[in-house]
Homo-oligomer: A and B are copies of this chain.
Amino acid sequence: MSLPSSVTVHAPATIANVGCGFDVLGICLTAPYDTVRLTRRDQPGLVIRHLDNYDLPTDPYRNVAGAALLALLREVPEPIGFEVEITKGIRPGSGIGSSAASAAGAVVAANALLGNRFDNKKLVDLAMYGEAVASGVRHADNIAPAVCGGFTLVRAVQPVLDVVALPAPPLWVAVVHPQFEVKTREARAVLPTQVPLSLAVRQWANVGGLVAGFLTHDSELISRALEDYIVEPARAALIPGLADAKQRALAAGALGGGISGSGPSIFMLNQNEATAHAAAEAMGRVYQKMGIEFHLHVGPIASEGARVVSVN
């Protein structure tokens, strides 16, 4: 059986942090997604094109998919390269894992072209080089769910990457993306460097509770455990409308939620599709009243991450 010459992957948006789980927890959405098409070249090097209007760099060293693929090619003995066509379905800077999706999609597509020689853990490790281009840090909290799907725990990045991939809890996610910018650097700068031990204990109680709630499908526990005592209070001032949007979504029946990644998107978890739509619309009305443009996304937590949708 010969290997394909061209592969197209859908690489979904993801929610990092998931309330209490700063830098550690992530969940995978079904949409929006980036479409990444890779075609094998019989000579080394990458040629990258963006079929969208976001004016992203196409220099392989500065493109998130490019950086991830360069890392992957360093592990491949054959003198091959790729033509890369990326169509962003996820708006850059939205806080729902836009750069992670392109990087994850690229390595998943390359892996399919190479006969699936890398496992998911290795693909996460490679795609993290893309995140380093986007944010300066090789972090995995969006990459892990974008590759593995479901619900992921990045237990450690150093000295050895330790990604725990867990089954998707049967929940629906409502996301509002208000159209203002939160600079990742600023979102990092407002974080405390030291936290009271008493507060850290409450936070890790919630992380344990959220993991238990997801694995045992205990919606009430999930609802109680989502609360972030440390990071969201520090970042709330960067997201106008946050408190109001959360409150309206809770009133519409959502279980809980918070800032997606470092924002500006806000996510809420819900027990079913109808509640997720109601929560999204409730959040949208908050931004409508504030005169801020927004986009809404509603879908289940996806059991699968970036996946091959066509092969030639």
A225 at the interface (CB under 8 A from B): yes
A153 touches B191 (CB 8 A): no
Interface string of A27-45 (1 = CB under 8 A from B): 0000000000000000000
List the 9 closest pairs (A to B, CB-CB), nearest first. Answer: A204-B204, A200-B200, A204-B207, A194-B194, A155-B209, A211-B211, A24-B205, A208-B211, A207-B208
Q: Is the CB of A208 within 8 A of B24?
A: yes
Q: Verify if A308 is at the interface (C-beta below 8 Å from B).
A: no
Q: Is the CB of A204 within 8 A of B203?
A: yes
What are 10 A-B contacts defined by CB distance under 8 Å?
A20-B204, A25-B208, A154-B205, A155-B206, A155-B208, A156-B202, A162-B224, A194-B196, A211-B211, A212-B215
**In whole Å, how far is A77's beta carbon from the nearest beta carbon of chain B?**
30
Contact A216 B166 (CB under 8 A): yes
Structural contact, B162 and A197, CB atoms closer than 8 A? no
Closest to A220 in B: B162
Kindly state the separation between the CA atoms of A191 and B196 in the bound complex, as whole angstroms.
11
Partner pick for A200 among B166, B203, B209, B211, CB 8 A cutoff: B203
A195 at the binding interface (Cβ < 8 Å): yes
Q: Complex: how many Å from CA A218 to CA B215?
A: 13
Contact status of A201 and B153, CB under 8 A, knowing A212-B211, A212-B215: no
Report whether B193 and A200 are in contact in the complex, using a CB–CB cutoff of 8 Å. no
For A153, the chain B residues whose CB sits under 8 A away are 205, 208-209, 212
Please, how many angstroms separate the alpha-carbon atoms of A203 and B194 in the complex?
14
Evaluate contact between B22 and A209: CB separation under 8 angstroms.
no
A156 to B164, CA, bound (A): 25
Q: Given A155-B224, A164-B221, A216-B215: A200 and B208 within 8 A (CB)?
A: no
